[in-house]
Amino acid sequence: MENDTLRRQISDLTALLEVSKYLGSTTELVPLLQRVEHAALEVLDCERASVFLYDAVAEELYSKVATGESEIRFLAKLGVAGDTVAKRSIENIPDAYAHPRFNREIDKKTGFRTRTILSIPLTGHDGAIVGVLQSLNKRGGAFDRRDEEEGAILGSLAGVAIQRQMLLDEFAEKQRLVHDLAVAREIQSSLLPKEDPSVEGYDIAGWNRPADETGGDCYDYVPLPGGAIGLLVADATGHGIGPALIVSECRAMLRALVMMTDDLSVIMSRVNERLLQDLSGGRFVTAFFGALDPREHVLDYVSAGHGPLLYFHADTERGEELQATALPLAIMREFDAKPGTPMRMKPGDILILVTDGFFEWANRDGELFGTERIFDVVRTHRADPARRIIERLHEAVVRFGEGTTQADDLTAIVVKRH
């Protein structure tokens, strides 16, 4: 008998040492969990073993590995496993069906009959709960004191290893996301104009700075028949990858449509129709699209929810706010794309097309930058080139923000007649 006991102790210690070595070398979570499960089957001499990981945000326990079973997920306050999380101690249940906290539903679903349970908390190096290891149906009777001791050792080894691997996986996922966002940003940046247009009698500049890696704003210049130049500023709700995709689709559709018609109202209406088909409820796009005729010095435009449009009159040094001429895109099927009153640009006049990230930037007291401050910047720097005016505007809004974080995308086109 003593020899049998000694052999068992040696076998169990060997298994635990093997687990310790493997847990220190594996670099994947699922194989690690499988190894913990197999070690429990061997060391604790049971029929089944399950590793339940703890989701602290959802307050749930879930399995990625369970002998003979698919993934299981349940509230962390339920059942014997819930007691293990709450008490952070081993629960040794000699008769599962006599225990008031035993959940019989899993047995009903699987057809497996649970008799005995050894439920072991898995804790990380900082003492945080990582999960629960449950061993079911000790062969030859109930789990004993030695099983509890060896289970505690196995739980300590497994908890630290699982926590380490989950942190590594989380870091790797963040790195992958950062890389994907960088690629998305590079693609989106490539869709912006490489240079500002050269238009006789005019100085035109555009600029964009997203709040995230990718943004929901864009601007574009579109060559039009007869020497005219199309000007686009669009802003999809929100900022990030989703809005970036939406605004890129809007830009692509508009570019395709200008090859078919020069009617700005028709172009905007068709873009609206398409976006309504593609976007889910609650998402929309504000967009300004104008056609500047540099020979007649007239800018025709349609503004779908994009406003105010800011116009600086050089002769009076007065700033004028022009409102949108239609609803934002992708809100209503009955879309009336009314054109605005044509802008007749006089020498020195400046058109400032900005997204709301500029005038809605708030300082520490919650005060918005507003449009009057934009006109103040333009008035002060009206003799500067268009690109310098945008730079001064950005400097002013950042200074006004008093160190507050950029909360929305910033995009601008400035059109200045010589």
Mean pLDDT of 374-378: 97
Q: How many CB atoms lie within 10 A of CB 140?
A: 5
Listed in order, the ranges of the chain carrying CATH 3.30.450.40 are 2-165
Mean pLDDT of the 37-64 span: 87
SS3 content of the chain, % helix, strand, coil (to 5): 40, 25, 35
Mean pLDDT of 256-266: 92
Is residue 300 pLDDT above 80, yes or no? yes
CATH number at 2-165 = 3.30.450.40
Segment holding 41, helix H or strand E: helix 29-43
* 351-371: pLDDT as tens digits: 999 999 999 999 999 999 999
Model pLDDT, residue 6: 57
User: Does the pLDDT at position 28 exceed 90?
Assistant: no
What band does 15 get if pLDDT is binned at 50, 70 and 90? low
Comparison of pLDDT for 282 and 297, the residue scoring more: 297
pLDDT above 50 for 7:
yes
pLDDT at 368: 95
E-assigned strands of 15-67? Answer: 46-55, 60-66
**Model pLDDT, residue 10:** 62
pLDDT of residue 206: 97
Sheet harboring 343-344: ordered strands across?
217-223, 229-236, 285-293, 298-304, 343-344
Weakest-pLDDT range from 184-198, 217-231, 302-316: 184-198
Q: What is the mean pLDDT of residues 270-285?
A: 86
Report d(CA 123, CA 46) in Å as an integer: 22
Question: Does pLDDT of 237 surpass 60?
Answer: yes
- Residue 298 corresponds to which tokens in the numbers above? 């007239």
Question: Average per-residue pLDDT in the chain?
Answer: 87
226 band by pLDDT with thresholds 50, 70 and 90: confident
The β-bridge partners of 301 are 290
Q: Report the distance separating Cα 158 and Cα 168, nearest Å.
A: 15
Phi and psi dihedrals of 124, rounded to 5?
-80, -175
Q: What's residue 24's pLDDT?
A: 58
Of the candidate ranges 41-55, 128-142, 239-253, 342-356, the one whose mean pLDDT is the lowest: 239-253
In Å, how far are 188, 214, 250, 304, 408 from 240, measured between CA atoms? Answer: 11, 5, 16, 21, 10
**pTM of the predicted structure, to 2 decimals:** 0.64
Higher pLDDT, 39 or 325: 325
Question: What is the DSSP pairing of strand 298-304 with strand 343-344?
Answer: antiparallel
Contact indicator for 377, 399 with CB cutoff of 8 Å: no
Our CA dihedral for 166, 170, 175, 178, rounded to 10 degrees, sits at 170
Other beta carbons within 10 angstroms of residue 141's beta carbon come to 9
Per-residue pLDDT tens over the stretch 138-166: 998 999 998 998 888 888 888 888 888 78
Mean pLDDT value of segment 93-98: 93
More confident of the two residues 186 and 246: 246
Quick check: bond before 339 cis, omega within 30? Answer: no
How high is the pLDDT of residue 68?
47
Kindly state the average pLDDT of the residues 301-329. Answer: 96
- In the chain, residues under CATH classification 3.60.40.10 are 193-417
Spell out the alpha helix ranges (H) of 60-199.
79-87, 105-110, 145-191
Is pLDDT above 90 for 341? yes
The residue-averaged pLDDT of 12-34 equals 68
DSSP conformation class of 93? E
Tokens 């009959």, residue located: 113
Class of domain 193-417: alpha beta
Over residues 162-219, the pLDDT tens digits come to: 888 787 777 777 777 666 666 666 766 777 899 999 999 999 999 999 887 667 899 9
The whole-number average pLDDT for the span 254-279 is 91
Report whether 77 contacts 86 (CB < 8 A): yes
pLDDT, mean of residues 253-270: 92
- Percent of the chain at pLDDT > 70 equals 88
Q: What is residue 327's predicted lDDT score, i.e. its pLDDT?
A: 94
What confidence score (pLDDT) does residue 241 get?
74
Q: Which of 47-51, 196-200, 413-417 has the lowest mean pLDDT?
A: 47-51
Instruction: Answer yes or no: is pLDDT of 381 > 50.
Output: yes
